[in-house]
Amino acid sequence: MSKAFYASLAEPSQAIHAWKYTPWKKLHPTGKLNEVPDDFLEAVVILSMMDGSDLPSGVSLERGDDSKTSLLQEDDKAVAFLRAACDGNTWELNIEANTILSSPLHVSIRASGHLSVSHIQVQVGNNSDVEIIWALSGEAGWFGLLREGIIGHACHYHEGIEQALSSSSTVIRAESWKTGRDATMTTSLLSIGGELVRSDLRAILDKGATYQQFIASNGKGIRRDNHHLQVTHPVGNNQSELVIHNACDDKSRAISTGRLTIAKGADGSDASQIFKNLLLSQKARADSIPELEVLANDVSAAHGAASAPLDPEQMFYLMSRGLDSEESEGLIVGGFLIAAFEKLPRDSIGNWLKGRLAIHLDCNLLE
């Protein structure tokens, strides 16, 4: 996508649901809103097996074609900017039909330099059963990630993501996924990196599909973590679930907006979204805005949001057993965040996320 096309798009209005809380002028790396800098570095992407074995046949990471039809919102200002910044450089992660993996894949994405970007397209063939661990890291001052994927019919696709870029980074993510008939997709994110983070995550479900998005975000300092999720049920007899747990300390802020759309005639859809916030400081803030647009008659649709401070009784209980206040708070925060992943169907991803969260919280205690 060209720089001229990006420049032709108007700055997104904050009246638009996805742009309500973090305007583009705060995210643009230079402040010259209609320009795309020329000095972007492409992030380093490495594919391997978690158990150290060789990649099996039917799994490959190759250079892709950015000119083909994309699932991403092409008229979105951030998407157009990132595609122009990628300058046609795209990776394709291909998994052939009927591939069943006994160990998770591991995708490392390391962003360095002042400005960094990456575009990854995922294609999972029909009747496959795959788990992928995505590790996002690096010291880039500004990092933009585009991911899009098609999950084939009757697939089981499960992924765990750790976003652990530098605490001073600006991180922009835009993703679009399409699940096939009778497919199952679970995606779990541990968001602990970046100072200003904005994610636009979208999914479209086919008949019989199940889509689950679990997010745990830990905010400290002045960190701002904004997640916009949009799930569309164009047809019925499918299921979606969104769960976000935000723990906010110091002056950090978490923003969670979710839009579930059930189209006319999409009877039999089952959709829910639950946002929970733990406020650890009087100056911390969390905004949760679940929205439902239901145009069908025979559906199940639910949403909820709740915010609360630390429970003094829990703190007293832990401190009465020899823990100091920081250790007690760390245990409560850890339990609250990991609870976002309690419905994960695979232990391998859940255990990895628990381990990464434990390391992160231990490092916080040492600061």
Nearest-angstrom CA–CA distance, 11 and 78? 9
For residue 356, pLDDT beyond 70: yes
Distance of CA 240 to the CA centre of its chain: 15
pLDDT value for 365: 58
Mean pLDDT, range 20-24, rounded to an integer:
90
- Using CA of residue 186, residue 213, residue 210, residue 107, what is the dihedral sign? negative
For residue 255, pLDDT beyond 70: yes
pLDDT value for 66: 79
pLDDT value for 312: 87
Between 67-76, 167-176, 202-211, 351-360, the lowest mean confidence (pLDDT) is in 67-76
For residue 222, pLDDT beyond 80: yes
Mean pLDDT, range 335-349, rounded to an integer:
93
Nearest-angstrom CA–CA distance, 150 and 140? 29
Q: 161 vs 329, which has greater pLDDT?
A: 161
Mean pLDDT, range 43-64, rounded to an integer:
96
Q: 323 vs 164, which has greater pLDDT?
A: 164
Q: Which of 163, 75, 86 is nearest to 121 (CA)?
A: 86
Percent of the chain with pLDDT over 90: 82
Residue-wise pLDDT tens digits, 98-136: 999 999 999 999 999 999 999 999 999 999 999 999 999
pLDDT value for 366: 52
Residue-wise pLDDT tens digits, 270-320: 999 999 999 999 999 999 998 889 999 999 988 899 999 988 888 888 888
For residue 180, pLDDT beyond 90: yes
pLDDT value for 67: 75
- Using CA of residue 129, residue 144, residue 35, residue 27, what is the dihedral sign? positive
Residue-averaged pLDDT of the chain: 94
Q: Radius of gyration (Cα) for the chain, nearest Å?
A: 20
For residue 367, pLDDT beyond 60: no
Mean pLDDT, range 212-228, rounded to an integer:
96
pLDDT value for 59: 97
C-alpha distances in Å from residue 147, one per residue of 53, 170, 216, 296: 26, 17, 19, 30
pTM passes above 0.85: yes
Nearest-angstrom CA–CA distance, 197 and 256? 12
Mean pLDDT, range 240-268, rounded to an integer:
96
Domain ranges in the chain? Answer: 3-309
For residue 1, pLDDT beyond 80: no
pLDDT value for 75: 86
325-338 and 312-319 helices, crossing angle to 10°: 120
